[in-house]
């Protein structure tokens, strides 16, 4: 287990969040190599136009039972993603990731979670 509290790879846009990557036009996420912590100025700019979570992926502290995705002992998001996508359909390469050692999904499901991660967009509900 990680020395620090686990990080959620599907967080919200707020000051102190980690900018994990940018959602591309094909719906996949291009990850930033370096850890980028967003500030209020970034948040204010990102909130203009479409929801920031439709355009970017953010990370932050995993809040476990305070999150509606928590199933009692793990995050249900990555379990649902891995149930929905056959492993053979996942990319073979691991994305660059600034939070992997502390990532909740990686800690739960290992490299398979990392291979599925670029296919996850945080906000997909109708605007």
Q: Tell me, yes or no, whether 82 lies in a domain.
A: yes
Residue 125 lies in a domain: no
Residue 52 lies in a domain: yes
pLDDT tens string 91-111: 999 999 999 999 999 999 999
pLDDT digits (tens, 9 = 90+) for 19-37: 999 999 998 999 999 999 9
Evaluate whether residue 2 is within a structural domain. Answer: no
Give me the pLDDT at residue 101, please.
95
The domain containing residue 31 runs over which residues?
7-119
Q: DSSP letters of 38-84?
A: --HHHHHHHTSSS-HHHHEEEEEE--GGGSTTB-SSSBHHHHHHHHH
Is residue 21 situated within a structural domain?
Answer: yes
- Is 81 contained in some domain? yes
Residue 17: inside a domain, yes or no?
A: yes
Number of domains in the chain: 1
Q: Which residues pair with 79 in a beta bridge?
A: none
**Is 124 among the domain residues?**
no
């Amino acid at each position: 287990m990680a020395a620090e509290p686990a990080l959620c790879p599907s967080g919200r846009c707020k000051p102190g969040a980690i900018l994990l990557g940018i959602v591309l036009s094909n719906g996949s996420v291009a990850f930033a190599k370096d850890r980028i912590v967003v500030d209020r100025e970034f948040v204010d700019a990102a909130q203009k136009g479409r929801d920031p979570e439709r355009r970017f992926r953010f990370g932050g502290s995993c809040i476990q039972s305070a999150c509606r995705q928590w199933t009692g002992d793990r995050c249900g998001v990555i379990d649902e993603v891995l149930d929905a996508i056959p492993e053979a359909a996942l990319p073979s390469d691991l994305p660059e990731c600034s939070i992997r050692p502390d990532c909740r999904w990686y800690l739960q499901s290992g490299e398979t979670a990392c291979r599925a991660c670029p296919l996850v967009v945080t906000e997909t509900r109708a605007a």
